[in-house]
Amino acid sequence: MGYYSRKPFSGALNKRQGMVTTVMLDASQKLPGGDLPAGTLHLIQVTDTHLYADPDRRLLGLSTLESLRQVLAQISAEQPKPDLVLATGDLVHDASPAGYRRAAEELRSLGAPVYGLPGNHDIPAAMCTHLEAHGVSCAGELRLGGWQILLLDSVIPGEEGGYLAPAELKRLEIALRDGEGHVLVCLHHHPVRVGSAWIDTMALQNGDEFFAVLDACPRVRGVLWGHIHQEYDGLHGNTRLLASPSTCVQFTPGVDDFQVDMAPPGYRHLALLPDGRIETGVKRLPAYPDGLDLASAGY
């Protein structure tokens, strides 16, 4: 197995993001999948799990815990040896210690290092305290193989939309300036409009500032987010823009008002290639677990 070393991140500008993790892979245990070259990194994105302190509590009639467990079981069957799991926010709907403990336990069942970042339903400081206590990292930077992976905090306390504070943008700028290798940037809120009027009111408010920082660094290959509970795959220049389904309730793409989508829960798998390319896809459950209220007008 690889080993994981942590050291202070000199560019850190807030308490949550104060560490950088360097991951050393044992190449003898990493075999390329299919036609992918040796040195390819295999990542899983799990997002918007919306767990609760009460394991029996439901969201729009759906057991978010049972839905997550079904998705994780499918990941274990389809992607048995990932290098990394990225949990991109809204992990716990009620921001409870018990919910975060349960989220950590479930995600660690995949047998890979797990890194989390906060969403609008999370309380960042509480999330990191409880996840870190149960083996999930909240480090703001990860260096894995030939890739630099940056995890950002886009939360505005008490609001559904997102914003990258000046200190967080500066941290991003410094990390890009001082880092090396190909870059994947992760956050919760969508930095571009996705074509659904209601959810685009909850986007990243300063997306232009965000992309101005990214555009100054030609090493950036992709941006990955959650929040929108649907699949998205686009481009900003040559930078891949990716969002993924929730492990629970899905939102219908391309509609102006809230609507539950019939597409089942799922996850995203990513292959980060040594030459900077990203190969990726979304996998879904065969069907929703029982109980979902498809007629709901919101939550």
Structural domain contains residue 32: no
187 pairs with which residues across the strands?
none
**Residue-wise pLDDT tens for the chain (299 aa)?**
222 223 222 223 333 445 566 554 443 334 334 689 999 999 999 999 999 999 999 998 899 999 999 999 999 999 989 999 999 999 999 999 999 999 999 999 999 999 999 999 999 999 999 999 999 999 999 999 999 999 999 999 999 999 999 999 999 999 999 999 999 999 999 999 999 999 999 999 999 999 999 999 999 999 999 999 999 999 999 999 999 999 999 999 999 999 999 999 999 999 999 999 999 999 999 999 988 887 777 76
Per-residue pLDDT, 291:
85
Structural domain contains residue 60: yes
User: What residue numbers bound the domain in which 156 lies?
Assistant: 16-26+40-284
User: How far is Cα 47 from Cα 140, in angstroms, rounded to an integer?
Assistant: 17
Domain count within the chain: 1
Angstrom distances, CA of residue 48 to CA of 6, 108, 169, 278: 27, 16, 23, 22
pTM: 0.89
User: How far is Cα 19 from Cα 4, in angstroms, rounded to an integer?
Assistant: 12
Residue 47 is which amino acid? Answer: T
Residue 266 is which amino acid? Answer: G
Per-residue pLDDT, 112:
97
Structural domain contains residue 295: no
Count CA atoms closer than 13 A to 169's CA, side-chain side: 18
User: How far is Cα 291 from Cα 284, in angstroms, rounded to an integer?
Assistant: 17
Per-residue pLDDT, 23:
53
Per-residue pLDDT, 19:
57
Instruction: Give 143-170 pLDDT, tens digit per residue.
Output: 999 999 999 999 999 999 999 999 999 9
Work out the burial of residue 8: count CB atoms within 10 Å of its CB; fewer than 13 is exposed, 13-18 middle, 19 or more buried.
exposed
Per-residue pLDDT, 202:
97
Structural domain contains residue 291: no
3-state secondary structure of 249: coil
Structural domain contains residue 292: no
Structural domain contains residue 150: yes
Q: What is the CATH number of the domain that holds 119?
A: 3.60.21.10
The structure tokens listed for 227 are 């929040």
CA-CA-CA-CA dihedral for 131, 147, 13, 119, to nearest 10:
-40
Max CA pair span of the chain: 51
Q: Who contacts 174 (Cβ-Cβ below 8 Å, separation ≥6)?
A: 11, 13
Buried residues in 93-103 as b, exposed as e (16+ CB within 10 A): bebbeebbbbb
Per-residue pLDDT, 180:
96
